[in-house]
Amino acid sequence: MNIKILTPEFVIFDGEVESVLLPGKSGQFQIFKNHAAIVSALVGGKVKIYTDKVDSSYQKYLTKETEAKSAYSYEIKSGVLEFNNDKGIILCE
């Protein structure tokens, strides 16, 4: 599935991922391939993407997580997620 993480200034990430863990208003939730369509508000916290490949142009924005060899995170203040047909867009600040 494809995930894009966008801020008003930068494209933080755009690529294929195995899953993404997000800080929702009711708690963390994770999205995998073939997830039902969803629109959700996000609160402050870490957006974690699980992927084997991160393009070098995005590595400066992401923090490598020690818990898993393929986990990267990006700290957000708030945002919104739209996910449909294995494509997700995270608009955040």
Q: What's the pTM value of the predicted model, to 2 decimals?
A: 0.94
DSSP label at 45?
Answer: E
Predicted local confidence at residue 32, as pLDDT? 97
Q: Which CATH number fits domain 2-92: 1.20.1530.20, 2.60.15.10, 2.70.70.10, 3.40.50.720?
A: 2.60.15.10
3-state secondary structure (DSSP) of residue 51 = coil
Confidence grade of residue 66 (pLDDT, cut at 50, 70, 90): confident
Tell me the domain boundaries of the chain: 2-92
| DSSP conformation letters of 5-72 | EE-SS-EEEEEE-SEEEEEETTEEEEEETTPPPEEEEE-SEEEEEE-S---TTTTTT-EE-SSSTTEE
- Decide if pLDDT at 68 tops 80: no
